[in-house]
Each structure stands twice: as C-alpha cells, then as structure tokens.
Structure 1
Amino acid sequence: MPRTKNTKVTKQRRKKIMKMAKGYFGSKRTLYRTANEQVMRSMRYQYRDRKQRKRQFRKLWITRINAACQLNDIKYSRFIHGLKIMNIEIDRKILSDIAIHDPNAFSKYCELAKEGLKKAETILPTPKQTSPSYVSLDNLDLVVEPKVKTKVVEKEVVVAPKIEKEVIVKTEPKQNEADLNSKTVAELRDFAKNLGLTGFSSLKKAELISLILNN
C-alpha cells in the first residue's frame, strides 16, 4: 500500500504563509522557512501593538486636552471632574478633536466644567481645620502610689537520703555427680542455662556434667 504524504494540505499551508509574507524583503518573501519565521514574529508584534495602540492614542488625546485646558485656565483633572458633575458624557477622542478644530466650543465646555465645580463646592463645603485643644495640668490631682519593696525569701532544700536496695542472689544448691548422671541431656542443658553458663549446646552428657561440676 503506498504511503500517503498529505501533500494537498501541506501545499495549502505553505501557500497561506507565502501569501502573508508577500510584501517582505529578500528571502523572507521567497523561502518558506524564513518566511514562516518572519510571519510568526510579525503576528506576535501585531497582537502586542493592538493593545499598545489604544494606550498611545489615549495619551495623545489627554495631551491635547491638557494643552487646551491650560489656555482656558483650568487643569485637566478638574476639567474632567467638572464635566462629570454636569453629566456631560463626551469621550476624550471627541474632546481632543473639538480642542483642535473648534477652540471656541471647547472654551464653552471649560466654562461648564467650572460651573459644575462651583456647584460641588457649595453643596459640599470643605471642613474647617480647628486648632488643637490643650489640657492644662495645673488643676489635675496626680496621685503617686508608693513603691512597695518585695523581699525574696530563700527556701531551704532538704535532700532525702538515698535508700539502697538489697540485691538478693539466688544460689542453687550444688548437686552430686550421681544426681547429674540420672538426668537426661535436655535436663542438663536446662540446668546449665539456669546457672548462667554458655557454650553448652554442642556438648555431650559427660562434658555437660563436668562443666556443671566445675562451675
């Protein structure tokens, strides 16, 4: 069975990239690999600059409005605040166009903003700063409590005498050779174990008896 290479889809993808790289210079327009790299980079720049373009235009509009506000003796921040008080909803793009093409109309907007600021000041007066009040200490009776000295009493420590415990060692009576001969090897091993002897597991009966008698 022949191997399929999917040439149709590959060709369409390459044609799409080469079409997007139509206006580039040199190998970025003719070679697929370099064209693909440049197209991917350009698309990243497009995504970034679409966001930055909005910020840059807003800065430009604010700069134009601020310059026009200075000609009418008002600050930019107070101008925008006054328009909000008067419920005048005009965006900064339109205000910048009015400031450039129709300065007389912009000056009227400035007058409206000033009226709105005056209304806000009359409705909400600024609170007056009062001088701080001082309290004289002449009429106050100050009661000073005397200091009480505390004595430290040292207690005598009584040490109880140590009581030594008596160690009782049980000693089993020695047995004769005749009694040991009457016992089996297992009994002799148990007897040697009770005496605290070691190394008797591989001994025979006669050797066990001699070990017990010697100890």
Structure 2
Amino acid sequence: MPRAKGGFKTRQRRNRVLKEAEGFWGKRSKAYRSAQEAVDRARRYAYRDRKARKRDFRGLWIIRINAAARLSGLSYSVLMGGLKKAGVAVDRKALADLAIHDPSTFNKLAEVAREQVAA
C-alpha cells in the first residue's frame, strides 16, 4: 500500500493555520508546527478574554458611576440602593453613559435615589 503523503486536504489545512498565524513573530508564522501551537494558544486566549471583557466593562461602568455619584454627594452603593427602591430600572452601562455625557440627568437620578434613602 503506498504511503499517503498528504495532498490537497493536508495542504489546505496547513495553509489555513498559517494564514491565521500571519503577523506572529518569527517561526510562529512560518513553520506549521509552531504556528499550530501559537494559533491554538491565541484561540484559548481569545475565548477566555471574550468572557473577561464583559467583566472588565462592568467594572469600568461601576467606577464611572461611583465617581459621578460622589460628585453628587452619594456613594455608589447608596445610589444603586436608592434607585432600586425607587423602581428605576437603568442598567450600569446606561448610567455610566449618562454620568459622562449627560451629568444633569444623572444628577436628577441621584436626587431620586437620595429621596429614597432619606425616606
């Protein structure tokens, strides 16, 4: 039985991996084996970091809301607790956007939260 050297399909698979490894440094972009390892690692990081990005953004929003809340004389937890008691359903992403781009509206929400805490 003749030895199968790997023709069209093998070359196609290797070229697909090498195409993905374009821009990698040195041998990682040229040698199939090194490129395969680098691409596998890159895929693992990409998968992990797609999840981490969501956590990072939530943390950023909380930092921005806290900074704006403190300018209004409230802490983050008091603001969020007051908004929840008032039944204001605004997510952190929208609140952070308001804090940056529309401070007057954010201050009105802070007043609503302050009234709920005082009551």
CA–CA separation in structure 2 for the residues paired with 1:3 and 1:14: 19
Q: Deviations over 1:73-99 (max 9, x none)?
A: 111111111111111111111111111
The Cα RMSD (Å) is: 1.5
Q: Deviations over 1:93-126 (max 9, x none)?
A: 111111111111110010011122234xxxxxxx
- The verdict on how the C-alpha distance between 1:42 and 1:62 changes in structure 2, with shifts beyond 3 A counting, is same
Offset of residue 4 of structure 1: 4.0
Query: What is the letter of the counterpart of residue 56 of structure 1?
Result: D
Give 2:110's aligned residue. Answer: 110
Instruction: Select the structure with the greater relative contact order (CA < 8 A; seq sep ≥ 6).
Output: 2
- The verdict on how the C-alpha distance between 1:55 and 1:112 changes in structure 2, with shifts beyond 3 A counting, is same
**Which runs of no fewer than 5 residues in structure 1 stay unpaired?**
120-215
For this pair of structures, how many residues does the alignment match? 119
Give the number of the structure whose alpha-carbon radius of gyration is greater: 1
Offset of residue 21 of structure 1: 0.6
Q: Give TM-score, length-normalised by structure 2.
A: 0.90
Superposed, 1:10-159 pairs within 5 Å as: 10-119=10-119
CA–CA separation in structure 2 for the residues paired with 1:4 and 1:43: 30
Q: Give TM-score, length-normalised by structure 1.
A: 0.52
CA–CA separation in structure 1 for the residues paired with 2:31 and 2:115: 66
What secondary structure, in the 3-state scheme, does the structure 1 residue paired with 2:90 have?
coil
CA–CA separation in structure 2 for the residues paired with 1:34 and 1:6: 19
**Which runs of no fewer than 5 residues in structure 2 stay unpaired?**
none
Residue identity (%):
50
Offset of residue 23 of structure 1: 1.9
